[in-house]
Chains A and B, each alone.
Chain A
Amino acid sequence: MRQRLVPYLLVAPSLVLIAALLMGLSSVLGWSLDDGTGNGISLAQYESLATNASYRQFFTSSLWLAGVATAVALVFGFPAAYYMETKASPRQRKLIFAALLAMFLSDYVLKMFGLVLILGRTGLVNKLLLWLGVTDEPLRLMFNEFGVLVGLISGILPYMILSLNGVIARLDKRLQEAAALLGAAPWRVFLLITLPLCVPGILAGTMLSFLLSLNSFVTPMLLGGGRVDMIAVFIFDQSINLGNLPLGSAAAGILFLISAIAILALTVAGDRFHRRFQR
């Protein structure tokens, strides 16, 4: 009899901790339903977010930036992951892996700071361009969308690469060889065989990168200078600086919803893929 209780006892402490999070999230939900007077419940905050153009701008801007950053990370991350898993020597691979891991474990704030050093008016890129005579004046690479994009891409690349290298490593080379022997040119092998088989990793990496970009706070703050609209900044501004907790909570609620839906969609898609194509 006692035996049956054991697993529940083991899991309980963790679930108590998670309960705190759930309580907090429901508080957020509660605040987001505030109708502005502190007394009633309504969807006023959400309405306001949907109807007010400048509020909407934060969302569209974030989605756009996240999308672009993810696409670029995918395009550049895939070759890196491919090289790492198929062409690199074991030692090279280990080094790359260690480097990627080091990026995970490094400080994000300071990394953005490093990008400031690169993109700023007196930073590396501008100094280089001036020295080479390509431009006469330093370019505006920061405090705009470009800077934020660079920051986002820099942040999500490690995640993208590490999501991709798993599927690539598991590719059966013989499938590609069989295709080649059946007459397929390398680019066709890539498009018709390699790429489709990497779909689970691509989905996972894309989703992860997209969400990370969407929720990013430090990057738009440091590299956007407050001029680039992203949701996390909006939430912080409203809740803390302007004290408008209901509006901030509503935005947080929407953000959470987007994340949850995205993850759910990914899980379902991943399952579908597995069931249709994997043994």
Chain B
Amino acid sequence: MTRSFIPSTLQIATFAVLLFMALPNLLILVISFNSAATLAFPPSGVSLKWYVNVFSTPSFAVGLRQSLLLAATSCVISMVLGVLASLAIVRFRFFGRQAASVFVMAPLFVPEIVMGIAMLLWANTVLFISNTTVLVVLHALIVLPYVVRLVVANLQGMDPNLESAAMLLGARPHQAFLHVTLPLLGKGLLGAAVFAIVMSFHNFTATMFLVGNRPTLPVAAYQYIRTENDPTVAALSTLMMLGGVLAVYLMEKWIGLERLVR
């Protein structure tokens, strides 16, 4: 079948849409190398100084540390909780199963701004709880539905006879899980973990209610944008984009992109 070089209207339209979506990121990329201290387009020269500046801005360093810690913690928590819950939902038939799976998805239905306020108020009602803990709870909540959805899909794709076979060969249920289910889920779990980390890392609106004086990276970036006018934040953004590309690459390797968006 010959491929004509003249793109069809559909192709042009698609390309236009994709360009529209990608343009902000592309522009940031370009501006980040600007030698002048303005955000004006076009850039006047090429320089890497803004990248250097990213690392010497204290709020970014703090932000990065906070974001990573938060992402790692909420990832671990949501993965453990999520895997256990997914096991229950997929492999067992029990009264309230349907309800449980809906409840676990609840955070998806709550607008971020509402969740921010809700958790702020919750923090006030629970005694002796530190700000960090509330943040962790918030992020675990936000990420949990995604983890459950992914792990459930993975479990459903697994042959249920494998666990039965293991049990008939003498493996107790937890042994069957350890030796058979977990290894087979392995890659899927890694992909879910990466997804969880990224979702947590980028969360802004809900997080903003609770950060106080130790902001996460997105919050720090936001504050910087509102006050300063140089391309430092563009450099930061480009670095984060690289991280995102890496994340996509890893997920493609570990789960295959199809599985993610059902």
A touches B in complex, CB < 8 A: yes
* Chain A residues with a Cβ under 8 A of chain B: 4, 6-8, 10-11, 13-15, 17-18, 20-25, 27-28, 31, 76-77, 79-80, 82-84, 87-88, 94, 96-99, 101-103, 105-118, 120, 122-124, 127, 154, 157-158, 161-162, 166, 211, 214-215, 217-218, 222, 231-232, 235-236, 239-240, 248-249, 252, 255-256, 259-260, 263
Chain A residues lying within 8 Å of B247, measured Cβ to Cβ, are 105
With known contacts A25-B110, A154-B20, A15–B103 Cβ distance under 8 A: yes
Which residues in window 70-102 of B have CB below 8 A to A? 77, 80-82, 84-85, 87-89, 92, 94, 97, 100
Chain B residues lying within 8 Å of A106, measured Cβ to Cβ, are 25, 202, 240-241, 244
* Given A14-B148, A215-B113, 14 more pairs with CB closer than 8 A: A10-B87, A18-B103, A20-B119, A21-B115, A79-B10, A83-B14, A110-B233, A113-B221, A116-B225, A127-B42, A157-B17, A215-B111, A222-B225, A235-B113
CA of A214 to CA of B114, assembled, Å:
12
Which residue of B has the minimal Cβ distance to A113? Answer: B225
Q: Decide yes or no whether B61 CB sits under 8 A from chain A.
A: no
Interface majority SS (helix, strand, loop, mixed), chain A: helix
21 of the cross-chain contacts (CB-CB < 8 Å) are A15-B103, A20-B119, A22-B106, A25-B114, A28-B118, A79-B14, A83-B13, A83-B14, A98-B252, A108-B204, A108-B218, A110-B218, A113-B237, A124-B27, A154-B24, A162-B261, A215-B112, A217-B112, A217-B113, A235-B114, A235-B117
* Chain B residues with a Cβ under 8 A of chain A: 8, 10-11, 13-14, 17-18, 20-25, 27-28, 31, 38-42, 77, 80-82, 84-85, 87-89, 92, 94, 97, 100, 103-104, 106-107, 109-115, 117-122, 124-125, 137, 140-141, 144, 148, 173, 198, 202, 204-205, 209, 218, 221-222, 225, 233-234, 236-237, 240-241, 244-245, 247-248, 251-252, 257-258, 260-262
CA of A80 to CA of B225, assembled, Å:
32
Contact B82 A14 (CB under 8 A): yes
Contact B110 A105 (CB under 8 A): no
Question: Which residue, A101, A118, A239, has most C-beta atoms of chain B within 10 A?
Answer: A101
